[in-house]
Structure 1
Amino acid sequence: MVKKLSSYFSFTLPGNIWRMLASEHWLVAEIRDGQTRKANFAAVDIRSGRLQWDYLELPESWWVSGTTIQTDTLLVQLYPDPQQPQTKGIIAIDLPTGTIRWQQPQHSFLRLTEQGILAVQGTEGESIFQLLSLATGEVVSRIEPVQLDDFSSPAQPYLLLPTHYTQENTYFGSIVSFIHHKLGLQPQKAVDYAEFQQLISISYYIYEHKNLTNYLLILDKEGNVRLHERLASQLPGIGLDTFFIIHQYLIVVKDKKDLIAYEL
C-alpha cells in the first residue's frame, strides 16, 4: 500500500495570504484584506509546527509589506506615499514575541546581507547607503555605491524553490506528456517542478469551467501518487512558486487562506 503524505500543520489565516517568507526556523505569511484595506502577518515556528501569532500592532495598516526573515527577525518596509512606489521606513519584528524590536523611519530597505542590512537614506536628492545592524537597527557604517556588490546575501541551504517552466520551455512539454499519461489531464500555461530526496513535486494548471485550476501532484520515483491536491480554482492567471520545500516539509497555500505543511 502506497503511503500518502501526512500533514505536519494546517492553519486557516484571517485574510488572503499574499506572500510567504521563510527562514531556517520560521515561516511568515503576509495577509491582506482588500475590503478593509488592512495588511497583517502570521508567524509559524517550523520546529514545533505551532502558530506563534497571527496579528501585529503596526503604525501602518495597509501600505506595508514584508521583505525578508533572518534568524528570529522579520523585516517590514513601509510605503509612506500611496502615489509613489518608493519605500521609506523599516520595522524589525521579533518573531518569538510578535513585537516591534526597532524602527528606522528614514531608511529604505535594499537587501539583507551576511554583514547586516543594506539600506538607503535620502537627503535633499542625495542617496546615502548605509549598513544597519540587524539586532538594533543602528547605523554600522556608511557604504559607498561602488562597495554595494561586495556584500553577499545569506545562504539558504535549507530552502528549495521549484523551477518554473512556461509552455515555451522544452521541459514543459515533457512534464505535460508525463501528467497526461499518468492522469489523463492536459496541463496549461506553466508548471512548477522540484525533486527532493525520492519525491517529485509538480504544480500544474488545467482549465475547469473556462477558468484555471491549480493542482499539486507529488509522486515517488516508482511513479506512485503520494499526494494530489487542488490548491486554487477560478484563477485569472498563473502564479510563481506555488509551493516550496523547507527542511523536510513541503509548504503550500490552499484557497488563499490555508497554510499547510506536509512531511516529506
Structure 2
Amino acid sequence: MTEVFAHKYDGAIWKMELNETAALLAIEWRDQDGLPYFSVIHYPSGRLLADRIQYGDRWWTLAGVHHHQLLLQHYPQPNIGQTQGLVAIDIDSEKVSWELFNVQFIELVQEGIAVKQRFDNVQTVSLVDPSSGSMLKDRQLLNELAPLFRNIRSAAPAPPSSLFPFTSTQVGPYFFLENKEKEFWAYHEKNGDKLRVILTIVQAGVIQHRECIIDHLDYLLPEVFFMVDQQLFFVRNNKREIVSYFV
C-alpha cells in the first residue's frame, strides 16, 4: 500500500461528503464546544485545498462539495429535522460566494443543487446554480434529475474464511470488501488492554499485505474502512485523523 495522505484535526470528525466527479472530499470536524470547522481535500493527490473554514454557529453543518464550492446547511432548531438555509463558500478564497435562506437542501445532482422551497410539494424540488446561487428551475421532479456518480464502497461484516479462522485475540466480526481481483479483510484484535484493527489484502488466495491500520482503540468500530476506485480511506486516532492509501 502507498500512503496518499494523513490529515489530523483538533476535534472529532463528524461528517464527510465525497464528490467523485470533482475528486474532492469535504470534512466537518468539531471542537470541544461543538463548533464546526470544515476542510476540503483533493483526495487522489492528498492536497489540502482548504482548512479550518468557519461559518455561523453550531447549527451549521456540511451539505456537500461541488467543484470549487463547499456547501453548508443550517438547522434552525435542534428539534427540527429539516434544514432552512444553504451557503456556498469558495474553496480557493474561503469566502462566502452566496447565501440562500428559507430553503431545504435535498441533494447535489448533475444539473445543479436540488432544494425545496416552501411552495414546493412533496414530489418537486427547485434547482440552484452552484456558481451563483440563483434559481434555475422551479417545481422539478426529483426523479427526473440525474444523480451524481457514486462508487463509494464500505467493508461489510463477514464470516471467517479458511484463510482467516477466528483467533483467541480477535474481537468482533471480520470486515470484507472485494474489488476486482483483490480481497480486503479487516478485524479487531486485542493488544494489551486496547484494541487494534488489522488489514490483510489477498489476491488469488495468497496474502499480499498485512498491516495494523488503526491502533489504541477503546471500543469496536462499527465501520472500519471505505473505498473509492483503488483508494482506501480510514478514520482513526479517536476520529481525529483521516488516512488514505492506494492499493
Measured in 2, the distance between the counterparts of 1:218 and 1:209 equals 21
Output aligned runs, 1:173-188, within 5 Å.
Answer: 173-175=159-161, 178-180=163-165, 185-188=169-172
Higher strand share: 2
Quick one: percent identity of the two aligned structures? 22
Measured in 2, the distance between the counterparts of 1:140 and 1:227 equals 50
Other-structure match for 1:36: 33
Counterpart of 1:161, as a letter, is R
Q: Alpha carbon RMSD of aligned pairs, Å? A: 2.8
Cα distance, 1:95 vs structure 2? 2.4
Q: More displaced, 20-29 or 36-45?
A: 20-29
Equivalent residues of 1:251, 1:261 under 8 A apart: yes
TM-score (norm 2): 0.83
Which of 182, 185, 189 is residue 202 of structure 1 equivalent to? 185
**Are residues 1:149 and 2:143 paired?**
yes
Cα distance, 1:90 vs structure 2? 0.7
Deviation by residue 1:210-244 (Cα, 9 ceiling, x = unmatched): 88x45141313121334332256112x5423x322
Higher helix share: 1
Counterpart of 1:32, as a letter, is R
Aligned length: 241
Measured in 2, the distance between the counterparts of 1:180 and 1:126 equals 54
Deviation by residue 1:89-142 (Cα, 9 ceiling, x = unmatched): 01122223333222111111011212111111226x977731111222211111
* Structure 1 gap ranges (5+): 166-171
Equivalent residues of 1:116, 1:133 under 8 A apart: yes
Measured in 2, the distance between the counterparts of 1:262 and 1:126 equals 44
Other-structure match for 2:48: 51
Other-structure match for 1:161: 153
Other-structure match for 1:15: 11
Which of 203, 215, 225 is residue 243 of structure 1 equivalent to? 225
Shift of the 96–201 alpha-carbon distance from structure 1 to 2, 3 Å rule, reads farther
Shift of the 209–84 alpha-carbon distance from structure 1 to 2, 3 Å rule, reads farther
* Structure 2 gap ranges (5+): none
Output aligned runs, 1:72-87, within 5 Å.
Answer: 72-87=68-83
Counterpart of 1:234, as a letter, is D
